[in-house]
Amino acid sequence: MRKTLLTILKYIFFLGLGVGIIYYILHKQDSTKLINAIKSVNLWLFVPIFIFGFFSHYFRALRWKLLLEPLKIHPTTINVTFAVLIGYIANLVVPRGGEVAKCTVLAKYEKMPANKMIGTIVAERAFDIICLVIITVITFLLQAGIIGSFVKKEIWIPMIQKLSDNRIILVLIILIIAVLIGIAIVLYRRHRETQLGHFLKGIGHGFSSIIHMKKRWEFIGFTGLIWLCYTLQIYFAFLSMPATHHLSMMAALSVLIFGSVAMIITPGGLGAYTLFVAQILLSYNIDEPTAHAFGFVAWAGQTSIIIVLGIVSLLLIHPYNKKKNVASSAVNRA
pLDDT tens-digit profile of 293-323?
Answer: 999 999 999 999 999 999 999 999 999 998 8
Ordered DSSP codes for 22-68: HHHHHHHS-HHHHHHHHHT--GGGHHHHHHHHHHHHHHHHHHHHHHH
- Would 17 be classed as within a structural domain? no
Q: Could you tell me the CA-to-CA distances from 32 to 42, 43, 133, 230, 317 in Å, in that order? A: 18, 20, 38, 30, 44
- Would 85 be classed as within a structural domain? yes
| Rounded Cα distance, 268 and 215, in Å | 32
The pTM of the full predicted model, rounded to 2 decimals, is 0.81
- Would 115 be classed as within a structural domain? yes
Residue 16 is predicted with a pLDDT of 79
Residue 299 is predicted with a pLDDT of 94
- What does the DSSP 8-state code read for residue 267? G
Please give the residue range of the domain that contains residue 225: 44-317
Structural domain count of the chain:
1
- Would 63 be classed as within a structural domain? yes
DSSP-H helix ranges across 143-215? 144-150, 158-161, 166-190, 195-212
**Tens-digit pLDDT profile for residues 120-160:** 787 788 778 878 888 887 787 777 666 656 655 554 444 44
Q: Are 218 and 244 in contact (CB under 8 A)?
A: no
- Would 270 be classed as within a structural domain? yes
Which of 77, 76, 70, 55 has its CA nearest to residue 210?
Answer: 70
Task: Output phi, psi for 171, to 5 deg.
Answer: -60, -45
Helix axes 272-282, 288-333, angle to 10 degrees: 130
Residue 189 is predicted with a pLDDT of 67
| Rounded Cα distance, 135 and 128, in Å | 10
User: What are the residues whose beta carbons fall under 8 Å from the beta carbon of 114, sequence distance 6 or more?
Assistant: 103, 104, 106, 107
| Rounded Cα distance, 37 and 53, in Å | 23
Helix, strand, coil share of the chain (percent; to 5):
85, 0, 15
Residue 47 is predicted with a pLDDT of 95
| Rounded Cα distance, 252 and 261, in Å | 14
Q: Are 229 and 59 in contact (CB under 8 A)?
A: yes
Residue 192 is predicted with a pLDDT of 62
- What does the DSSP 8-state code read for residue 152? I
| Rounded Cα distance, 60 and 62, in Å | 5
Residue 60 is predicted with a pLDDT of 95
- Would 297 be classed as within a structural domain? yes
Longest dimension (CA), the chain: 76
- Would 1 be classed as within a structural domain? no
Cα 159 to the center of its chain, rounded Å: 30
Residue 183 is predicted with a pLDDT of 66
Regions in the chain scoring below 70 on pLDDT: 1-8, 10-11, 14, 95, 144-213, 328-334
Ordered DSSP codes for 284-316: TT--HHHHHHHHHHHHHHHHHHHHHHHHHHHHH
Q: Are 277 and 262 in contact (CB under 8 A)?
A: yes
- Would 118 be classed as within a structural domain? yes
Residue 156 is predicted with a pLDDT of 45
